[in-house]
Amino acid sequence: MSADQRPGPPAQGSLQRRSAARTAVVWNALREVLDRQDTGRPASVVDIGGGTGEFAVRVAELGHRVVVVDPSPDALAILARRADESGVADLVTGRQGDLDDLPDLPDLLGDTGRGADVVLCHGVLEIVEDPAAALVALAGVLRPGGTLSLLVNQRHAAVVARAMAGHFGQARALLESSVLQQVQPSTDPGSRNHRFTADEITVVLDEAGFDTVSMQAVRVFVDLVPSSLVDLEPGAAQALVELEQAVANRPEYLALATRIHTLATRRT
Ligand SMILES: C[S@@+](CC[C@H](N)C(=O)[O-])C[C@H]1O[C@@H](n2cnc3c(N)ncnc32)[C@H](O)[C@@H]1O
């Protein structure tokens, strides 16, 4: 195969379509939570591990105030540029910080020392030292009755993915692990990759003082379908988003999903 016959990197439109299919379910659920806020003021939102602000900027575009906490200065710099370009720089604050060692509330939220209305923690619980302790810290950032939006990797899908890649030993080890084993603190951040089942999420949330309100299956199909099918077939990308949305609230699909999105409220 000559250089110009080789497939290049996916086109921008392809990446955007795939990204939309990956985030639509979570964004729709989060948006409903934000639309339900009836405090008479913009919601106070904290996005822990919010990275470059993919969600934070969209939340700010709805008029809410968002504090993004992330250890990466590079991510925070991109966040600031993105917020600026979207015209919401006055609503978005980046704070360098760590879920394992969060700043005190008044320090984090400025004058609103009462706790955030909504906390996002998407794709972070997997890599912290102790997920159970991290959830307790997240509860401390929320006001009583406030909502946690938690997105984590789901273990059974990871078992299937490893097996399909031919890593049968790894698949077996993951299958036989449990979150209780996985949460043993590891000093090596690179080695941390906690994965959770729906039942485990419910248990650790309960122990941290949360009531689980809903659980959604996220990315049931999008990681399995070849890009060419989505890109070449007219209307396929939109149909895939609609299919993901259609199965998201069916509990039988939780065990097939790459990720689980949970909404939980902090007990009063
Ligand atoms: C997989 S990315 C998820 C980014 C974003 N939340 C999203 O869903 O698109 C993980 C993010 O967590 C941040 N992170 C890593 N360790 C963290 C920690 N201990 N506390 C808070 N954030 C952390 C990383 O810098 C990165 O931005």
Tell how far the Cα of 6 is from the centroid of ligand 1, in angstroms.
33
Cα distance between residue 256 and residue 217, in whole Å:
8
Rounded mean pLDDT for each run of 10 residues along the chain, 268 residues in total: 47 69 91 87 94 96 96 98 98 93 79 85 93 94 96 93 92 76 51 85 96 97 86 87 95 96 96
Question: Probe ligand 1: pick from 18, 127, 128, 187, max atoms within 8 Å of CB?
Answer: 127
Q: Which residues line ligand 1 (CB under 6 A)?
A: 48-51, 54, 70-72, 75, 98-100, 122-124, 127-128
- Quick one: pLDDT at residue 113? 67
Q: Residue 128 CA: which ligand 1 atom is closest?
A: 19
Residue 134's region, left for phi above 0, alpha for psi from -120 to 50, else beta, is: alpha
Tell how far the Cα of 94 is from the centroid of ligand 1, in angstroms.
13
**Closest Cα to atom 26 of ligand 1:** 51
- Quick one: pLDDT at residue 91? 97
**Closest Cα to atom 25 of ligand 1:** 72
**Closest Cα to atom 8 of ligand 1:** 122
- Quick one: pLDDT at residue 22? 83
- Quick one: pLDDT at residue 257? 97
Tell how far the Cα of 146 is from the centroid of ligand 1, in angstroms.
21
Question: Probe ligand 1: pick from 70, 76, 98, 121, max atoms within 8 Å of CB?
Answer: 70
- Quick one: pLDDT at residue 190? 56
**Closest Cα to atom 27 of ligand 1:** 51
Tell how far the Cα of 4 is from the centroid of ligand 1, in angstroms.
37
